[in-house]
Amino acid sequence: MNAPEPRTKIEFIDLKAQYAALRDNVNARIQRVLDHGQYILGPEIKELEAALAGFTGSRHCISVASGTEAILIALMALDLQPGDEVITTPFTFAATAEMIVLAGAKPVFVDIEPDTCNLDASRIRARIGPRTRAIMPVSLYGQVADMDEINAIAAEHGLAVIEDAAQSFGATYRGRRSGALSTFACTSFFPSKPLGCYGDGGAIFTDDDRLAQACREIRVHGQSARYLHTRLGVGGRLDTIQAAVLLAKLDRFEWELERRHAVGARYAELLRDVPGLGLLAVRPDRDCVWAQYTVFVPGRDAVQQRLQAEGIPTAVHYPRPLHRQPAYAALCCPDCCPVSDDAGRRVMSLPMSADLSEADQDRVVAALRRALA
């Protein structure tokens, strides 16, 4: 079957349509910051932190410069020592393990569930050692890992749990929000995330008053008062203008979550009978906000090329797990995580956003069927 003539390229994530719907509110929020001129720790920061804490159900929200910075600050607040270990998944963006190393600890990789690509809780106990200090599951693609099981394992061994929630803001797990499920949660407001700003941004969530105070001090160079540096810190503040953008976007966020659920469910229905295609499982006790709509495909390179020829963008999150990356390979045996290796060869993400139209979604599905035929 011949492919149709190329048409207008579909947006992988349609931020332009989102801005068009929010233009007046976004512009007004930004203008307010320009008028008062408090670009660092302006009033919008406290307003945003209160709104995000209320949304997640967490006691504290500490806004920071990026999701990566959120992980680093949370790890620093735990006062890790050289040689300490943090259990995590290799099937994630590099920032997860990168910040563990920069905090002076060692990432210990545990393989993933083959159907969700999240950390396999059943494998954690075997990797806990005398230097283990924390467990960092990643809520990949927008679905929370099995946090109750992970928290129970951590409690048995006196460990902290840090949810890397960079992709799951707004997701629920057994009736609770991502961000309020563990010792810490760290999320990202990178523009492509479910809740994104117009630059870099992130946040840390915790119910622990002491850890929250530590994070607030660390994000301003370890200051407990102006020019009183009581701990090591970083320059990790969120810009006030980015907070203003996020506040404007929160007005539409519940609608966007509903749309993400609907678009994800429609993809699953349209793709469930495509030969050779595998779909991610969503556990019945949680939902997924589909930061990426990711599928498993055979012959991925050829499929991507065929889709590109039809104006359908795709991406791969992530082609090479961290235990295969040169920077981290020495930390782990090369064959420790075969499920992650297999997923890295087969995952492919399709266009996904709250503003994806049914017509464009139909076009994506039809093109994918042809590419796999």
**Looking at the DSSP assignment, which residues form a beta bridge with residue 294?**
349
Residue the block writes with tokens 């283990």: 132
First to last CA, the chain: 9
User: Model pTM greater than 0.85?
Assistant: yes
Backbone angles phi, psi at 174, to 5 degrees: 50, 45
Instruction: Tell me 322's DSSP state.
Output: G
Element housing 206 (H / E): strand 202-206
| pLDDT at 334 (0 to 100) | 74
| pLDDT at 266 (0 to 100) | 98
**pLDDT tens-digit map of 318-336:** 999 999 999 998 887 778 9
What gap in Å lies between CA 134 and CA 38, rounded to an integer? 37
Extended strands (E) in 155-222: 160-164, 172-173, 176-177, 184-188, 202-206
**pLDDT tens-digit map of 89-143:** 999 999 999 999 999 999 999 999 999 999 999 999 999 999 999 999 999 999 9
DSSP string, 153-165: HHHHHT-EEEEE-
What gap in Å lies between CA 38 and CA 42, rounded to an integer? 5
| pLDDT at 1 (0 to 100) | 45
| pLDDT at 7 (0 to 100) | 64
**Looking at the DSSP assignment, which residues form a beta bridge with residue 164?**
138, 186
| pLDDT at 301 (0 to 100) | 98
User: What pairing do the DSSP bridges indicate for beta strands 85-88 and 106-109?
Assistant: parallel
Residue the block writes with tokens 């007005």: 251
| pLDDT at 289 (0 to 100) | 98
Element housing 108 (H / E): strand 106-109
pLDDT (tens place) for every residue of the chain, 373 residues total? 455 555 678 999 999 999 999 999 999 999 999 999 999 999 999 999 999 999 999 999 999 999 999 999 999 999 999 999 999 999 999 999 999 999 999 999 999 999 999 999 999 999 999 999 999 999 999 999 999 999 999 999 999 999 999 999 999 999 999 999 999 999 999 999 999 999 999 999 999 999 999 999 999 999 999 999 999 999 999 999 999 999 999 999 999 999 999 999 999 999 999 999 999 999 999 999 999 999 999 999 999 999 999 999 999 999 999 999 999 988 877 789 999 999 999 999 999 999 999 999 999 999 999 999 9
